[in-house]
Amino acid sequence: MKKVLILLLISTIISAQNRSTEQRVDSVLALMNLEEKVGQLVQYSSGWATGSKTDRPEESSSDLLKAGKIGSFFNIVGAETTRELQRIAVEESRLKIPVIIGLDVIHGYKSTFPVPIAEASSWNPELVKKSARWQAIESSAAGVHWTFNPMVDIARDPRWGRIVEGSGEDPYLGAAMAVARIKGYQGDDLSASNTIAACIKHFAGYGAAEAGRDYNTVDFSERTFHEFYLRPFKAAVDAGAATLMSSFNEIGGVPASGSHYLLTKVLRGMWGFDGFVVSDWNSVGELVPHGVAANLKEAAELGLEAGVDMDMEGNAYFRHMVELVNEGMVSIETIDESVRRILRIKFRLGLFDDPYKYNNVETEKKNVLSDEIIKATKDVALESMVLLKNDGLLPLKKDIRKIAVIGPLGQSKEDPLGPWNQQGQKDYVVTVVEGLQNKLGSSAEIMFAEGCKILGEDRTGFAEALETAKKADVIVLSLGESLHLSGEAQSRSTLDVPGVQEELAKELHKLGKPMVLVLMNGRPLTINWFDENVNAILECWFLGLQSGNAIADVLFGDYNPSGKLPVTFPKSLGQVPLYYNHKNTGRPLNPKVPAYTSHYNDESNDPLYPFGYGLSFTKFEYSDLKLSKSEFKKDESIKVIFTLKNTGKYAGEEVAQLYVRDLVGSVTRPVKELKDFAKIKLNPGESKMVEFSITPEKLKFFDLNMDFVVEPGDFKVFIGGNSVDVIEQSFKVVE
Ligand code: NOJ
Point out the catalytic residue in the list 153, 280, 379, 676. Answer: 280
Mean pLDDT of 646-656: 98
Instruction: Give the N- to C-terminal CA distance of the chain in Å, as an integer.
Output: 71
pLDDT of residue 46: 85
Mean pLDDT of 328-349: 98
Q: Pick from 101, 488, 490 the residue to mutate for probing ligand 1's pocket: most ligand atoms within 8 Å of its CB.
A: 488
Question: How far apart, in whole angstroms, are the C-alpha atoms of residue 82 and residue 64?
Answer: 15
pLDDT of residue 2: 53
Please tell me whether the overall predicted TM-score, pTM, comes out greater than 0.85 for this model.
yes
Instruction: Answer whether the bond into residue 204 is a cis peptide, omega within 30°.
Output: yes
Are 381 and 455 in a shared domain?
yes
Are 555 and 653 in a shared domain?
no
Question: How far apart, in whole angstroms, are the C-alpha atoms of residue 82 and residue 176?
Answer: 33
* Ligand 1 lined by 346 (C-beta under 6 Å): no
Sheet holding 199-203, edge to edge: 199-203, 243-246, 276-279
**464-517 pLDDT per residue, tens:** 999 999 999 999 999 999 999 999 999 999 999 999 999 999 999 999 999 999
583 Cα distance to chain centroid:
25
Whether the predicted pLDDT of 56 surpasses 90: no
* Ligand 1 lined by 280 (C-beta under 6 Å): yes
Q: Pick from 148, 160, 312 the residue to mutate for probing ligand 1's pocket: most ligand atoms within 8 Å of its CB.
A: 148
Model confidence band, residue 1 (pLDDT cutoffs 50, 70, 90): very low
Other Cβ atoms closer than 10 A to 371: 7
In 3D space, the residue among 48, 53, 101 whose CA is nearest the CA of residue 74 turns out to be: 101
* Residue 251 counted as domain residue: yes
Protein residue with least CA distance to atom 7, ligand 1: 148
280 Cα distance to chain centroid:
16
pLDDT of residue 5: 52
pLDDT of residue 314: 81
* Residue 314 counted as domain residue: yes
**138-159 pLDDT per residue, tens:** 999 999 999 999 999 999 999 9
Mean pLDDT of 161-189: 98
* Ligand 1 lined by 281 (C-beta under 6 Å): yes
Are 450 and 551 in a shared domain?
yes
In 3-state terms, what secondary structure has residue 555?
helix
Question: How far apart, in whole angstroms, are the C-alpha atoms of residue 68 and residue 70?
Answer: 6
Look up the CATH number of the domain holding residue 534: 3.40.50.1700
pLDDT of residue 3: 53
* Ligand 1 lined by 50 (C-beta under 6 Å): yes
Are 491 and 389 in a shared domain?
yes
* Ligand 1 lined by 148 (C-beta under 6 Å): yes
Whether the predicted pLDDT of 18 surpasses 80: no
| Residue type present at position 604 | S
| Residue type present at position 282 | N
Whether the predicted pLDDT of 9 surpasses 80: no
CA trace torsion 177, 180, 181, 183 (10° rounding): 160
- Average pLDDT, whole number, for the chain? 96
CA of 281 to the centre of ligand 1 (A): 6
Question: How far apart, in whole angstroms, are the C-alpha atoms of residue 449 and residue 463?
Answer: 10
CA of 200 to the centre of ligand 1 (A): 11
Q: Return the H-helix or E-strand segment holding 274.
A: none
Are 5 and 53 in a shared domain?
yes
**283-333 pLDDT per residue, tens:** 999 999 999 999 999 999 999 999 999 999 989 999 999 999 999 999 999
Question: How far apart, in whole angstroms, are the C-alpha atoms of residue 251 and residue 217?
Answer: 7
Q: Pick from 101, 160, 245 the residue to mutate for probing ligand 1's pocket: most ligand atoms within 8 Å of its CB.
A: 245
Question: How far apart, in whole angstroms, are the C-alpha atoms of residue 178 and residue 232?
Answer: 6
In 3D space, the residue among 109, 131, 105, 112 whose CA is nearest the CA of residue 120 turns out to be: 131
Mean pLDDT of 582-599: 97
CA of 722 to the centre of ligand 1 (A): 33
Number of domains in the chain: 3
Backbone angles phi, psi at 310, to 5 degrees: -120, 135
Whether the predicted pLDDT of 228 surpasses 80: yes
Are 570 and 624 in a shared domain?
no
Residue 538 lies in domain: 376-575
* Residue 121 counted as domain residue: no
* Residue 589 counted as domain residue: no
Atom of ligand 1 nearest to the CA of 202: 5
Are 452 and 556 in a shared domain?
yes
Protein residue with least CA distance to atom 1, ligand 1: 281
Question: How far apart, in whole angstroms, are the C-alpha atoms of residue 270 and residue 264?
Answer: 9
Are 392 and 489 in a shared domain?
yes
CA of 206 to the centre of ligand 1 (A): 12
Protein residue with least CA distance to atom 3, ligand 1: 280
* Residue 730 counted as domain residue: yes
Protein residue with least CA distance to atom 4, ligand 1: 280
CA distances from 528 to 531, 538, 566, 572 (A): 5, 14, 19, 8
* Ligand 1 lined by 201 (C-beta under 6 Å): yes
Percent of the residues in the chain that have a pLDDT greater than 90, as a whole number: 95
280 is catalytic: yes
Are 675 and 569 in a shared domain?
no
* Residue 94 counted as domain residue: yes
Whether the predicted pLDDT of 17 surpasses 90: no
5 vs 266 pLDDT, higher one: 266
Look up the CATH number of the domain holding residue 285: 3.20.20.300
CA of 635 to the centre of ligand 1 (A): 42
Mean pLDDT of 593-621: 98
* Residue 601 counted as domain residue: no
- Identify any residues that bridge with 78 across adjacent strands, giving them in sequence order: none
CA of 305 to the centre of ligand 1 (A): 22
Look up the CATH number of the domain holding residue 709: 2.60.40.10
pLDDT of residue 61: 87
Other Cβ atoms closer than 10 A to 265: 14
Are 401 and 539 in a shared domain?
yes
How many residues can be counted in the chain?
735
* Ligand 1 lined by 488 (C-beta under 6 Å): yes
**545-586 pLDDT per residue, tens:** 999 999 999 999 999 999 999 999 999 999 999 999 999 999
- Which own/partner pairs from 224-229 qualify as long-range (CB within 8 Å, at least 24 positions apart)? 225/251, 226/702, 226/706, 227/171, 227/701, 227/702, 228/154, 228/171, 228/581, 229/153, 229/154, 229/171, 229/204, 229/205
CA of 71 to the centre of ligand 1 (A): 18
- Residue ending a domain, among 329, 348, 367, is 348
Are 381 and 343 in a shared domain?
no
Other Cβ atoms closer than 10 A to 310: 28
Question: How far apart, in whole angstroms, are the C-alpha atoms of residue 142 and residue 194?
Answer: 10
* Residue 284 counted as domain residue: yes
Are 338 and 269 in a shared domain?
yes
Mean pLDDT of 220-236: 97
